[in-house]
Structure 1
Amino acid sequence: MGLKATLSRPLAAYIVRQYAHWQHDPIGTQQQVLRELLAQGARTAFGRDHDLGAARTAADLAARVPVRDYEGLKPYFDRVKAGEPDVLWPGKPLYLAKTSGTTSGAKYIPITKESIPNHINGARDALLHYVHRTGQSQFLDGKLMFLSGSPELEMLNGIHVGRLSGIVNHHVPAYLRRNQLPSYATNCLDDWETKLDRIVEETLPAPMALISGIPPWVQMYFDKVVARTGRPVGEAFPNFNLFVYGGVNFEPYRRKLFDTIGRPVNSLELFPASEGFLAFQDEPDNPGLLLLLDAGIFYEFVPAEQFFEPNPPRLTLAEVELDRQYALVLTSNAGLWGYSLGDTVRFVSRYPFRVLVTGRIKHFLSAFGEHVIGEEVEQTLREALIAYPEAEVTEFTVAPLVSADPATPSRHEWLVEFARPPHDAAAFAAALDAGLRRRNSYYEDLRAGHILAPLQLSALPAGAFRRYMKSQGKLGGQNKVPRLSNERTLADGLISE
């Protein structure tokens, strides 16, 4: 065992003990975080506009600060981007994390001196918890590969701007940097496919031990490794023993990824976002992600079914229930106040508080009143793949298919790119339909009342999702395919590819 692997074990034990302190009093920890945030927020333009100086409790915050997404807070974000200090947080942020996908174009999320440790320490502590729980630290002596965006940063009004993964790349500890792949020059390449080819060239000769990234983009990398070597990834990289992922539900990708690897490999799930590093899998055999409560983020939870009401309830950690869908709302030392992250979670344990990431609050399908969420379609697909083990899915999405004929019911359309199709596509489609009927009572009622016809399964040609994402400038990096939508922009774009 090398020096890094050896030294990581006492450090891991220390970090786990530190986490135990705040886990003993999670509610009190969150209350203290909120008090500190309000004290800082009172010194800002936002704080003056919302009377944060008089706020002390979560109820005070909710009374003064409405739930708003990026668009709702955009006038303040624009002032920060213009270089004005003391707008959302005292001073100027260190960075603006640039992301895409809003109606007004790119988002610029502040990362402050106080919030950057959350992003760095969250990933570090996830790995150290893994070391402590499993006793496996040998991966730290091998090569570590992170599929990420470019680390090149721009300067805008005195603030560095770049992709979150590129920003974080600048904070990789020095003792790990010499283990890190791909090289800086390769990471700076903008064209995803060129970059991926270069990554394959750099990693194939290396003793890869840890590979990290968003599952669909890692799958593209794995496919190139297999095509280049003619061997499963696990044979091409015999030292590879830990796959770290986040950003999307792993289950739809798990089977194909591990088939491509060709042997068992441990996995570790993270919950990172440009707005903060929120949770990680702290126990290898427990799929729940430990919510980070002492990292400068105060959490509120809006019941998903009430999110779009005029004044939805905003619950604190003390009020949440198990196995209920919540939309996440953040107030943080990045200068986010009542910020709707857009993600939904479901608590699977309390004390400690662990969640599963279940989807996006805006990515639901209710074109006909069915209120289908991402977790339901992902579980339904997983169940169908178990029933039809010959099938493998590369990517999928679900959209409404509205009938132009009043005599013919409308239906859902599942657009699926198969790595290997099922032997009986009609039976597979029927299994999907039956699974969704069991999971969603609204869908069942619409199907039973013949308001909706059985779903339509549309098999897409190989590479359809990749080509569409490339045409939209969203190939690779942190970009993700929406599971559900209430309109057909994505579906029609895929069909036309």
Structure 2
Amino acid sequence: MPSLKALLAKPFAKYVAWQTRQWASKPEETQQKVLEELIEGAKDTVFGKDHKFEAIKTHADFVRAVPIRDYEGLKPYVDRVVEGESDILWKGKPLYFAKTSGTTSGSKYIPITKESMPSHIASARNAILHYIAETGNTRFVDGKMIFLQGSPILKAKNGVQLGRLSGIVAHYVPNYLLKNRLPSYETNCIEDWETKVDAIVEETLPENMTVISGIPSWVQMYFERLMAKTGKKVGDIFKNFDLFIFGGVNYEPYRAKFEDMIGRKVDSIELYPASEGFFAYQDKQSEKGMLLQLNSGMFFEFIEGDSFFEDDPKRLTVGEVKLGVNYVLLVSSNAGLWAYNVGDTIQFTSLKPYRVIVSGRIKHFISAFGEHVIGKEVEQAMSDACERTNATIVEFTVAPQINPVSGLPYHEWIVEFGQAPSDSAEFSRLIDESLQAQNTYYKDLIVGKVLQPLKVTEVKQDAFKLYMKSIGKLGGQNKLPRLANDRKIVDVLLEND
């Protein structure tokens, strides 16, 4: 017989779904209201005064007053917030700084305010409630739920708590979920990932696990440890496990392997959380894409990817976008971000309501495991290794190897040398060392034994030139991508080698 919690979940889910339809059916009106509230809320801040917020009435006014910025552009203001000043980007001081890996200046400190924090929590909850409203499935409500995340231990920085986003969110688990939630707080605080996974395995094995959530690459490691310990499929260990919640990277490359490890198909919910805001979540099992959160204290703008690097690209509101176009996502929020380039590219899969998929990053990247490795980083790592070994290269590209024949996944560097290094193992080690020094996400994955150190594969002379010729892009302004999030280029290069 269903518990009271399971019985109450259905009407609550229907109510939340109804609330969502109210704002989702009026997208432009909803976003205009958000913009007005943001301008009013920040007009007396340093940023608001610098950009004459009191004169902004329309989106056109906002575009004229507030230029597009990435973290580097906003950093002079963020630095003042980090130093402890009030009323800089948003009224008062933030509750937290979410620490993330920066691409040019080390760590980034993304403010989270008392106004923005609730949307991080409500969006995750509402994703589950929409699933219940659509499917009627409440079986999982009474079982145990695991959320694989970072340590909840926070540090103070000038009076503001600092930590990884997932660790911050861990402090906001609703009371009605506390008895269902795993791992324990003590286990969650373990810093070493291998030790932590082993502890999670021990804690969860005897439990009735019904929901498992996390970045696929981390969950895969957990599944593999479970199977190694028991000799059983995950679905046989947890017979009532029927909902997988994920975010951070594209699940599709993992789906077949996951279904094999589980031994059957399970429903899944995709989330689009970031330190800058919880942007979207999957609201329908039957529809592609995630519902853009237009009513969560965030004002969104979109720039067509093809025109993003022009001098004055057109900034579109939600009412001006089209299906299937690659857009760079900008966000202004009640956390104090303004026309902020998140770095992601998205595409709309539906306009009624507005649903999106994450199509990549505005620059070439690898994030098959959540590492966000960019071109600048791999080029610097290659330069460092060549300088220290006197090697020279003709060309190179990098791709993830998600399903190796044996061992952990890794990054594969396909290199055509001009002069090969005398010690290839040392050359690979130096590249890996440099990449870890530049990118803390990548380092965490190596240290946590989610990835093994990168591997360098040498290809024969003219391999890249022959590849470019084969696709009709030899010469001119055509460039081979330094890195990709799939193996399409690499597989062809290796096939022809």
| Bin of the TM-score, shorter chain as denominator length | 0.7 to 0.9
| Distance change >3 Å, CA 200–CA 55, structure 1 → 2 | same
State whether residues 365 and 483 of structure 2, in contact with CA within 8 Å, keep that contact through their aligned partners in structure 1. Answer: no
1:287: Cα distance to partner?
2.1
Asked if the contact 1:8–1:128 (Cα under 8 Å) also holds between the matched residues in 2, the reply is yes
Q: Could you tell me how far apart the structure 2 residues matched to 1:260 and 1:419 are?
A: 16
Deviation by residue 1:258-286 (Cα, 9 ceiling, x = unmatched): 11111111101011011111111111121
Matched AA of 1:291: L
How many residues align? The count is 417
Structure 1 match to 2:319: 318
Distance 2:103 2:396 in 1: 28
Q: Deviations over 1:210-245 (max 9, x none)?
A: 000001111111111111111111111111110000
RMSD of aligned residue pairs (Cα, Å)? 3.3
User: How much has 1:3 moved relative to structure 2?
Assistant: 2.0
**Corresponding position of 1:369:** none
Q: Secondary structure at the match of 1:271?
A: strand
Give 1:495's aligned residue: none
Query: Does the 8 Å CA contact 1:396/1:416 hold for their aligned counterparts?
Result: no
Quote the Cα distance in structure 2 between the aligned partners of 1:360 and 1:139: 34
Conserved? CA contact 1:396–1:414, under 8 Å: no
Partner residue of 2:287? 286
Asked if structure 1 preserves the Cα contact closer than 8 Å seen for 2:326 and 2:346, the reply is yes
Aligned counterparts of 1:148 and 1:71: Cα–Cα separation in 2 = 27
Tell me the equivalent position of 2:331.
330
CA distance in 1, matches of 2:337, 2:451: 23
Task: Give the whole-Å Cα distance in 1 for the aligned partners of 2:444 and 2:355.
Answer: 35
Cα deviation per residue 1:7-29 (whole Å; 9 max; x = unaligned)? 11111011011111112211100
Task: Indicate the percent of aligned positions where both proteins have the same amino acid.
Answer: 52
Cα distance in 1 between the residues matched to 2:99 and 2:396? 37
Aligned twin of 1:21: 22
Shift of 1:309: 1.8
Conserved 8 A contact 1:394-1:417: no
| Structure 2 unaligned regions, length at least 5 | 387-392, 407-427, 455-479, 487-497
Match of residue 210 from structure 1: 211
- 1:472 is matched with 443
Indicate if the aligned counterparts of 2:98 and 2:165 stay in contact, CA closer than 8 A: yes
**1 CA distance for matches of 2:372 and 2:63?**
38
Partners in 1 of 2:395 and 2:159 — Cα distance?
53
Structure 2 residue 168 is the aligned partner of structure 1 residue 167: yes
Where in structure 2 are the equivalents of 1:97-112 lying within 5 Å?
97-112=98-113
Question: Shift of residue 310 of structure 1?
Answer: 2.0
C-alpha change, 1:141 and 1:396, in structure 2 (3 Å) is same
Aligned residue in 2 for 1:261: 262
Aligned residue for 2:403?
418
Aligned to 1:68: 69
Is residue 255 of structure 2 the alignment partner of residue 244 of structure 1? Answer: no
Q: CA shift at 1:364, angstroms? A: 5.1
Q: Is the 8 A contact 1:181 1:203 kept in 2?
A: yes
Supply the AA of the counterpart residue of 2:28. Answer: I
Separation in structure 2 between the aligned mates of residue 475 and residue 173 of structure 1, nearest angstrom: 33
Alignment CA distance shift 1:486-1:51 (3 Å): farther
| C-alpha displacement of 1:416 | 2.2
CA distance in 1, matches of 2:372, 2:259: 18
Aligned partner of 2:490 in structure 1 is: none
Amino acid at match of 1:473: D
Report the counterpart of residue 343 of structure 2 in structure 1. 342
Residue 467 of structure 2 corresponds to which residue in structure 1? none
What is the letter of the counterpart of residue 472 of structure 1? K
Structure 1 stretches lacking a partner, 5+ long: 366-373, 379-392, 422-460, 492-497
User: What is the match of residue 362 of structure 1?
Assistant: 363
**Aligned-partner residue type, residue 443 of structure 2:** Q
Structure 1 position 105, deviation (Å) = 1.1
CA distance in 1, matches of 2:133, 2:22: 17
> Could you tell me which amino acid in structure 2 is paired with residue 262 of structure 1?
G
- How far did 1:417 drift? 4.3
Kindly report which structure 2 residues correspond to 1:145-160, keeping only aligned pairs within 5 A, or say none: 145-160=146-161
Instruction: Report the secondary structure of 2:149's partner residue.
Output: coil
* Structure 1 CA distance for aligned equivalents of residues 371 and 61 of structure 2: 44
Distance 1:163 1:37, change over 3 A: same
8 Å Cα contact 1:37-1:333 kept in structure 2: yes
- Between 1:353-362 and 1:26-35, the stretch displaced more is 353-362
Q: After TM superposition, give the deviation of residue 472 of structure 1 in Å.
A: 2.0
* Cα shift at 1:473: 3.3
CA contact (8 A) 2:365 2:485 kept: no
TM-score (norm 2): 0.78
For residues 67 and 473 of structure 1, the distance between their equivalents in structure 2, rounded to whole angstroms, comes to 31
Contact residue 13 and residue 132 of structure 1 kept, 8 A: yes
CA deviations 1:380-408 (Å, max 9, x no partner) are xxxxxxxxxxxxx9999998999x9xxx9
Q: Distance in 2 between matches of 1:12 and 1:45?
A: 41
- Contact 2:120/2:169, CA 8 A, preserved across alignment: yes
